[in-house]
Amino acid sequence: MPKGETTDGFHLVIDALKLNDIDTIFGLPGIPITDLTRMAQAEGMRVISFRHEQHAGNAAAAAGFLTGKPGICLTVSAPGFLNGLTALANATTNCFPMILISGSSEREIVDLQQGDYEEMDQLAIAKPLCKAAYRVLHAADIGIGIARAIRAALSGRPGGVYLDLPAKLLAQTMDAAAGQASLIKVVDPAPRQIPAPDAVQRALALLRGARRPLILLGKGAAYAQADADIRALVERTGIPYLPMSMAKGLLPDNHPQSASAARSYVLAEADVVMLVGARLNWLLSHGKGKTWGAPNTKQFIQIDIAPTEIDSNVAIAAPVIGDIGSCVSALLAGIDANWSRPPAEWTAAVADRKDRNLSKMAATLALNPSPMNFHSALAAIREVVKSRPDAIVVNEGANTLDFARSIVDMYEPRKRLDVGTWGIMGIGMGFAVAAAVTTGKPVIAIEGDSAFGFSGMEVETICRYDLPVCVVVFNNNGVYRGTDVNPSGTADVAPTVFVKGARYDRMIEAFGGVGVHATTPAELRKGLEQALASGKPTLINAVIDETAGTESGRITMLNPQAAARKN
């Protein structure tokens, strides 16, 4: 570089990200980071600009899950930061690597509470809600700040990291050569953690002695990208496996060892359960209660990178601590030609229960009621996904989520993104944008009409970037269903009821996308097939029987009033 040439904080941030192979930023421009987005684009980075920071944050989180690199979300200060913080907290809960970078007010003004524009102590607010939080005050420390954020986001149990960049920092200048020398290329940000040999042998011994073993795959197994070894472990042992929703596709859902269609049976009857990248949280009834059959009849093997996760709900007989790839590889090494597969009576019982449940499901899916219900509409989507296993499915809602999880089969890993551990609504359009941007694959976003409302304006973002996303809105006129009545008799509709006959398809037409109004499974299937073939932004308004839903979906037990009415 010529002597005397300078650089500034803006360019050092961009150069530090590019040095670490980060080429995409999700965000929303505004004071003080608008110029940063312009410069990043000028320097060859892809900048995907959203209509709301929460959805940009969700996109960054999904990008982290899909790529194994931290997704970057860039926001303005205070309100913009708070909008992104929701996504950051969700990413941390779900173990998605993400970095939220926000502009902020100057420290000397914030600390004296002098009333700056969008004044807020953002670092203090972020710390309790993410894995790590850092502030950079000097341009010479930008390289270190971004390096620490990357390593924190990826190492051990992945999660969200907040990086605070005061406005004054971005305009700071320094010698260009010194600035480049201050940048850090992070080496091995997620180092392998090899499990202890005795822990591996303990787990293998427990599996060998099991009469009714079960392998339970969580989204951590999908994130690990150890697909071949995980499949080999399942197939060599012959053990039935049960995938959590975002682990579907690690092995195809029509695999003979899949126990998805016998979920309740295998959870209750298994005597040894091996958890691979899954937690015994509320989605698995915390490993307790009726879901798990008779109390104290099970032993658990848990593969997890965090030793503090062990025994978090129930006793873990055989903890295997390390990264999933290394742990599965070590287990595979102990499964030789003399390995005894599970007893035939267990595998036969699982197969029998699965066949009976699949037959019942097939009969239900074969029906063609008018208007459509969740089953008949999802049956149409199911067939399209079967013909396009490369498509990524994004899914959220209550009934729409519950039914899609059990009806729409997945065939390839990391092709299903949904509401995850928190079960929150509003991830739909952000996840869909990230999936399309990071993979280039077609995306099918299956949305309840209520869930779609949280992020629906981002269909403009989908159209603006001409992304191959087809949004299917299951329109039943309300939250859960559109049949509630205001008990007071006043003119206001019930809180759960939306505008009757809403035409969501016309929303996307306003932005140049393709709208489809579907009232039959045939119309839905045709619209979806055309969308996938064209790659054009599409929204299908799938009209569903407004009486078809169940309040709270399958988590009625978390809604006391709904549970009382059900009983």
In this prediction, residue 549 has a pLDDT band, given cuts at 50, 70 and 90, of confident
Nearest to 525 by CA among 343, 381, 386: 381
- Eight-class DSSP state of 130: S
pLDDT score of 392: 98
Q: Does the predicted TM-score (pTM) go above 0.75? A: yes
pLDDT score of 3: 62
- Look at residue 506 and tell me whether its pLDDT is greater than 60: yes
78-101 mean pLDDT: 97
Portions of the chain given CATH number 3.40.50.970: 6-181, 367-566
In the chain, the percentage of residues whose pLDDT exceeds 90 is: 90
pLDDT score of 305: 97
What are 221-270's pLDDT values in tens digits?
999 999 999 999 999 999 999 999 999 999 999 999 999 999 999 999 99
- Look at residue 332 and tell me whether its pLDDT is greater than 90: yes
What are 197-214's pLDDT values in tens digits?
999 999 999 999 999 999
pLDDT score of 218: 98
Question: What's the rounded Cα separation, in Å, for the pair 463 and 536?
Answer: 8
pLDDT score of 254: 97
- Look at residue 560 and tell me whether its pLDDT is greater than 80: no
- Look at residue 536 and tell me whether its pLDDT is greater than 60: yes
For the chain, the distance separating the N- and C-terminal CA atoms, rounded to the nearest angstrom, is: 75
Question: What's the rounded Cα separation, in Å, for the pair 468 and 436?
Answer: 6
- Look at residue 278 and tell me whether its pLDDT is greater than 60: yes
Angle between helices 197-208 and 324-333 (to 10 degrees): 60
Q: Which CATH number fits domain 6-181: 3.40.50.970, 3.20.20.70, 2.40.50.140, 3.40.1410.10?
A: 3.40.50.970
- Per the listing, tokens 């939080």 go with 133
Which residues are registered as beta bridge partners of 73?
26, 100
488-514 mean pLDDT: 95
- Look at residue 2 and tell me whether its pLDDT is greater than 80: no
Phi, psi of 294 (to 5 degrees): -60, 135
Q: Are 446 and 473 in contact (CB under 8 A)?
A: no
Q: What is the largest CA-CA distance in the chain?
A: 79
- In this structure, the chain runs to a length of 567
pLDDT score of 163: 98
- Look at residue 323 and tell me whether its pLDDT is greater than 90: yes
Angle between helices 521-534 and 374-387 (to 10 degrees): 30
The neighbour count for residue 345, using CB atoms within 10 Å, is: 10
Structure tokens at 562: 């709904």
Fold of the 197-352 domain: Rossmann fold (3.40.50)
179-207 mean pLDDT: 97
Architecture of domain 367-566: 3-Layer(aba) Sandwich (3.40)
- Look at residue 405 and tell me whether its pLDDT is greater than 80: yes
Question: What's the rounded Cα separation, in Å, for the pair 383 and 532?
Answer: 13
- pLDDT, the chain, mean: 95
- Look at residue 170 and tell me whether its pLDDT is greater than 70: yes
Portions of the chain given CATH number 3.40.50.1220: 197-352
Q: How much of the chain is helix, strand and coil, in % rounded to 5?
A: 45, 15, 40
Residue 136 identity (one-letter amino acid)? V
Question: What's the rounded Cα separation, in Å, for the pair 227 and 249?
Answer: 10
pLDDT score of 566: 55
Q: Are 173 and 304 in contact (CB under 8 A)?
A: no
- Look at residue 116 and tell me whether its pLDDT is greater than 90: no
Is the bond preceding residue 32 a cis peptide, omega within 30 degrees?
yes
pLDDT score of 47: 98
Phi, psi of 395 (to 5 degrees): -145, 130
pLDDT score of 564: 56
Question: What's the rounded Cα separation, in Å, for the pair 101 and 136?
Answer: 11
